[in-house]
A and B are shown apart, each in its own frame.
Chain A
Amino acid sequence: MALTLQVDSLRQVTVIACKGIIVFGQESDCLRAKVKDLLCQKNSSSPSPVADAAPIASASLVLDLSQIQYIDSGGLGALVAVLTSARACGGDLRLAGLNERVSRVLKTTRLDRVFRIHSSVELAVNAFHARATVQK
């Protein structure tokens, strides 16, 4: 399989670093399965708020796509499926670190209007916190 996923947590937000390609087949299936697992785990555990910080929805995910070389049609479908799953759990998904190639694909398919896209993981995480503060 040409996709590896590494899961980390940054200030209450789950960050999935993706490396390789997200295409129809094993890669798309693997991404969807990983997010499903994470959302199930999140649902069964309550968030652990940081002192003085507004709580973040437990299904807050960032996909770090900075090491993704290409996404095909099936891969785009998987990204939308992941977004739908996160929102169904009361959370959200943000994309970070897109290279020019991936940005072009999202723009071409008008998915840049569907996803919240940030230039870095840090900014994506900040955006979750800023939103939580506004809602507090």
Chain B
Amino acid sequence: MKPEPASQAPSRVLIVEDEPSMRTLLHKILAGAGFSVEEASDGMEGLERLTRHEFDVVLLDVWMPRMNGLEVLSELHRRGSNQRVILMTADHAPETLLRAVREQASLYISKPFSSEELLGTVCKVLACPVQPAIEVLSAKPDWVQLLVPCQPEVVDRIQSFLMGLDADLPLQIRESLGHAFHELLLNAIEWGGKFDPNLKVHVACLRTKRMIMYRIADPGAGFRFDSLKHAAINNPEEGSIEHLKVREEKGLRPGGFGILMTRFMVDELLYNEKQNEVIFIKYLD
């Protein structure tokens, strides 16, 4: 996958990675895709370069000598920097991922990854010029609570970190959780928050031995299922796309399958009375 060709100068990428062979490989992939690439061999050198030069995105390893990636993130956060940073790690420890969210890492990419995944992730981060700030209310691995702005870019970002927390689960469960979360968070941000970055959605993820539960609460007025004529959940048995006619009449984008899809991906799906809060549960046994 090639990045969209930029009309101006190529985007500048800084690789901060202590493993020379990995650094060389990343450099080759990124330069081959048209990026302007610089390297640093540890966190300290990376921070020095970031102090002196501007980069569009940083690829940051976690465990490095002298100064590790999390310390670099903390220092950037302390300085009030809006630097976009992609964290690269094989370390799926919840503490690592949650600290990365707290320190405002843009995205997380799990090692090992393909060149396509790498370029896709870099392009995704570059496509979002202003990184939405995520507030971490609780960063316990079994109780994560976040406050996120109503911006579509935030969905992939939160999803990449929260799904990293479930790396020990079977792929099918992780996918179901990820897809359900994606649909319901997007619904909350689009319908509840109207894509207004000043409004926030509460996200909580609780994990016990036997289940994972997500709660998403949006700032909207809620809705009624029987009035959701623009959603596939209300289609008659024989009409799978009836709701799309309603969406077209209302000038809405094609879609409306989210709740229907989610119902089949999770074990429990519950809305509160106003229906601006939703909980979904996946049982693990």
Partner of B261, one of A4, A25, A28, A105: A105
Question: With A1-B4, A108-B264 in contact, is A72–B253 under 8 Å at CB?
Answer: no
Chain B contact residues: over half helix, strand or loop, or mixed?
A: helix
Partner of B240, one of A77, A105, A111: A111
Does chain A have a CB within 8 A of B35?
Answer: no
Query: Who on chain A is nearest to B233 by CB?
Result: A109
A73 touches B253 (CB 8 A): no
A-side interface size class: 20 to 34
Residues in chain A near residue B260, CB distance under 8 A: 108-109
The 0/1 profile, CB within 8 Å of A marked 1, for residues 254-266 of chain B is 1111101100100
Does chain B have a CB within 8 A of A38?
Answer: no
A111 touches B261 (CB 8 A): no
Q: How far is the CB of A70 from chain B (nearest CB, A)?
A: 7
Question: With A24-B186, A109-B261 in contact, is A74–B1 under 8 Å at CB?
Answer: no
B-side interface size class: 20 to 34
Query: Who on chain B is nearest to A112 by CB?
Result: B240
The 0/1 profile, CB within 8 Å of B marked 1, for residues 75-119 of chain A is 011101100000000000000000001000100111101100000
Does chain B have a CB within 8 A of A2?
Answer: yes
B183 touches A73 (CB 8 A): yes
Q: How far is the CB of B175 from chain A (nearest CB, A)?
A: 7
Residues in chain B near residue A20, CB distance under 8 A: 1, 120
List B residues 177-211 near A (Cβ within 8 Å). 179, 182-183, 186
